[in-house]
Structure formats: C-alpha cells, structure tokens
Amino acid sequence: MAARVRALETILTQKGLIDPAAIDVIVDTYETKVGPRNGARVVAKAWSDPAFADWLRRDATAAIVSLGYGGRQGEHMQAVFNSSDTHNMVVCTLCSCYPWSVLGLPPVWYKAPPYRSRAVIDPRSVLAEFGVELPADKAVRVWDSTAELRYLVIPERPAGTEGWDEERLAALVTRDSMIGTGLAREPEAT
Ligand code: FE
C-alpha cells in the first residue's frame, strides 16, 4: 500500500496536480493537531448544555463547526445519541469514511475488512471483542458512513459525574466511545 501511495503521489506531482508540500501540511495537521480530543469536547458540551445537544441533533455539522471543528471529512455530520435502550455503532462498509474533523485519523481496525463486514453482520460479537457487553434488551444500531455523511456517536454520560465541568467530562470520552466500539469511562477510572 505504501508503494502504491508513493507511486500515485509521484504521478500526480509530475502532472502538476498536487503540491507535495501541501500534502505534507495536511498529513501533519491530522497526525499532530486534529484528533479525538476534538470530538471529546463536542460530547462534553452536549452532556453539559441541553441547547447545544439539541442543536447537535438537528444540525450536527453547524453545531460542531461552532466549536471550531470543520473542514475535510467533516462537511456533513450526523450525531447519533446512545440512550438507555439504544447503542449506536459506526462503520464504513465500503471503505473507511470517518469524521476526521472530530476524531482525527481512523484506527487501523476501522479500515480492516473484518471490522467492516462483521460490524454489520454480528455487531454484538464485535462489541464483545472490544470489551463492550450490552444488556440483551438494548438495541444496537449500526450506521454505515458514506462519502456524503459521517457519524459521531454521543455516548451516554456516566453516572456520578453530576456537576463536573466540560474539561473533566471530556477526559471520560474515548475515541472508541465516539465510534460506538466503546463506552465512556467511568468516573472512578480517572
Ligand atoms: Fe468509506
């Protein structure tokens, strides 16, 4: 794969279609500046501010941009809220569409064929392998990302966090909890 990417970059550069320096800036931005902490701040604000949570339900793209997180792979966002009766989980069965603007670069397993196929065929066993055991009566809803729409899971707020400020709450929000392959940390874990 690395050789194929290198070959493609060489051809595009030689044809004058891309500037390697610009590509380096983009890669560096997503490797070092944009990561899952952006999404964690979105979740913490949704937990703390009902008006923001409501905005996130109605127009996640605009609500997220209002916090300064926009751009590539985040142009069309939908927030899906976990609840006591439903757990949400995100996959891209076709390739690896992922909300870069809030979660950074996708983990390797997210791009792997086994996750992409099994997440839709048998989500509960995939969740179990991630250490997530859900009650049998809790529904699992799997969302298939596309080039047009990216999903952000809003995990349930852990009990025992009443009165916590957004910064403390954000520390409970893991990357996997926003993909739906994990849950938010319990307060005693921090
Ligand atoms: Fe995709």
Q: pLDDT digit string (tens) for 145-164?
A: 988 899 999 999 999 999 99
Whether the pLDDT of residue 189 is over 80: the answer is no
Q: Where are the alpha helices (DSSP H) in 31-163?
A: 36-48, 50-58, 60-65, 100-103, 108-111, 113-121, 123-129
Q: What is the mean pLDDT of residues 26-55?
A: 91
The set of residues, in sequence order, having a beta carbon less than 8 Å from that of 124 and lying 6+ positions away, is 134, 140
Catalytic residue among 48, 66, 92, 101: 92
- Concerning whether 92 is annotated as a catalytic residue, the answer is yes
- Long-range CB contact pairs, 30-36, < 8 A, 24+: 30/100, 30/104, 30/105, 31/104, 31/105, 34/69, 34/100, 34/101, 34/104, 35/103, 35/104, 35/105, 35/175, 36/102, 36/103, 36/104, 36/173, 36/174, 36/175, 36/178
Q: Which one of 3.90.330.10, 3.30.420.280, 3.40.50.10610, 3.40.50.720 gives the CATH number of domain 35-189?
A: 3.90.330.10
pLDDT value of position 159: 95
Q: Which residues contact 41 (CB under 8 A, 6 or more apart)?
A: 67, 166, 170
Active site residue 97: yes
Catalytic residue among 97, 101, 145, 177: 97
pLDDT at 20: 85
pLDDT of the residue at 30: 78
pLDDT 10s digits, 106-148: 999 999 999 999 999 999 999 999 999 999 999 999 999 988 8
pTM over 0.85: yes
| pLDDT bucket at 75, cuts 50 / 70 / 90 | confident
Please tell me the predicted confidence (pLDDT) of residue 141: 98
Average pLDDT value for the chain: 93
Please indicate whether residue 146 or residue 56 has the higher confidence score (pLDDT).
56
**17 CA to middle of ligand 1, Å?**
23
Q: Which of 1-10, 30-39, 158-167 has the lowest mean pLDDT?
A: 30-39
Q: What is the C-alpha to C-alpha distance for residues 102 and 37, in angstroms, rounded to an integer?
A: 7
Q: Which of 66, 84, 96, 117 is catalytic?
A: 96
Q: Which pLDDT band, with edges at 50, 70 and 90, does 74 fall under?
A: confident
Catalytic site residue from 83, 95, 117, 125? 95
Higher pLDDT, 95 or 54: 54
Distance 110 CA to ligand 1 centre (A): 10
